[in-house]
Chains A and B, each alone.
Chain A
Amino acid sequence: DIVMTQSPDSLAVSLGERATINCKSSQSVFYSPTNKNYLAWYQQKPGQPPKLIIYWASTRESGVPDRFTGGGSGTDFTLTISSLQAEDVAVYYCQQYYYAPSLTFGQGTRLEIK
């Protein structure tokens, strides 16, 4: 199975500051014929289901604020929140869909306000 490892496990950032979450896959999720990375990011706020925020590693889902940016390629990816807002407090998960039908998520990164 492909293992997705996020770092750090938890992160505390001041309001208005940048937050960066890392996701590393045990094998590449880049498919050269499509020139795409098969990686998504989700945000899960307390008591709520996950919400898709980024797919294809860097494409923002409709309605997601542009302070959320996804980057990286191959095995190493980042989710960056450029200016942390109070409503961004959540657990963030990465997910690979390259190795479908086996789909795997990272363990999650808890983002809090410092």
Chain B
Amino acid sequence: QVQLVESGGDLVRPGGSLTISCALSGFTLSDYYMSWIRQAPGKGLEWISFISSNGGTKHYADSVKGRFSISRDHSKNSLYLQMNSLRAEDTAVYYCARGSAGGQWELYFDTWGQGTLVTVSS
């Protein structure tokens, strides 16, 4: 059974840092592109980052570029998002999502986790 389980969401002060995780099961991490997508309270979906199946390619939305870093650990079958210089507008539920088996040119998301809430507030 394919499953994604996020963890690590917390209350963080503006300017602070946090790393969230996504534990994957039921498929081989090295076969898929993976993404982080967030949803601010009561708002829509915003794609923020993806990482290629071999980890060699990473892309970020302009809103997080230079502040967030995506990574993956194949030995732990996990995906991570390191978030620095956090701002109030980063407050959101963060979802990890699996890209389709087609790779970078077929980046729709066929499996999503339940999400983890990151709140940035003083």
A97, B95: Cβ atoms under 8 Å? no
Stretch at the interface among B7-15, B83-91, B102-110: B102-110
Cβ < 8 Å to B, chain A residues 35-73: 38, 40, 42, 48-52, 55, 61
A104 CB within 8 Å of chain B: yes
Is B55 an interface residue, CB under 8 A from the partner?
no
Write the chain A residue with the least CB distance to B50.
A101
Assess whether B44 is in contact with A105, with CB atoms less than 8 Å apart.
Answer: yes
A61 touches B110 (CB 8 A): yes
Greatest chain B CB density within 10 A among A52, A101, A107 is at A101
Check A97–B107 contact: CB distance below 8 A.
Answer: yes
Within the assembled complex, what's the spacing in Å between the Cα atoms of A42 and B44? 12
Residue of B nearest to A106 (CB): B44
Given contacts A50-B45, A105-B46, contact A97 B106 (CB under 8 A): yes
Question: In the complex, what distance in Å separates the CA atom of A65 from the CA atom of B115?
Answer: 25
In this complex, how many residues of chain A approach chain B with their Cβ under 8 Å: the count is 22
Interface residues of B in 58-111 (CB under 8 A from A): 59, 61, 95, 100, 104-110
- Select one of B35, B59, B105, B110 contacting A52, CB under 8 A: B110
- For the complex, would chain A's binding face be called helix, strand, loop or mixed by DSSP majority? loop
Please name the residue on chain B nearest to A55 by beta carbon.
B108
Contact of A103 among B95, B107, B110, B112 (CB under 8 A): B107
Tell me the minimal C-beta distance from A97 to chain B in angstroms. Answer: 4
CA distance A50 to B47 in the complex (A): 13
Docked Cα-Cα span, A56 to B104, in Å, equals: 14
In the complex, whether A93 has a CB less than 8 A from a CB of chain B is yes
Give the residue name and chain of the A residue nearest to B62 (CB): A1
Inter-chain contacts of B46 with A (CB < 8 A): 105
For this complex, 27 residue pairs linking A to B, each with C-beta atoms less than 8 Å apart, are A42-B45, A42-B109, A48-B114, A49-B112, A50-B45, A50-B95, A51-B112, A52-B108, A52-B110, A55-B108, A93-B45, A95-B45, A95-B47, A97-B105, A97-B107, A100-B105, A100-B107, A101-B50, A101-B59, A101-B104, A102-B59, A103-B47, A104-B47, A105-B44, A105-B46, A105-B47, A106-B44
Apart from A95-B108, A101-B59, A107-B44: 4 A-B pairs, beta carbons within 8 A: A42-B45, A49-B113, A50-B109, A104-B47
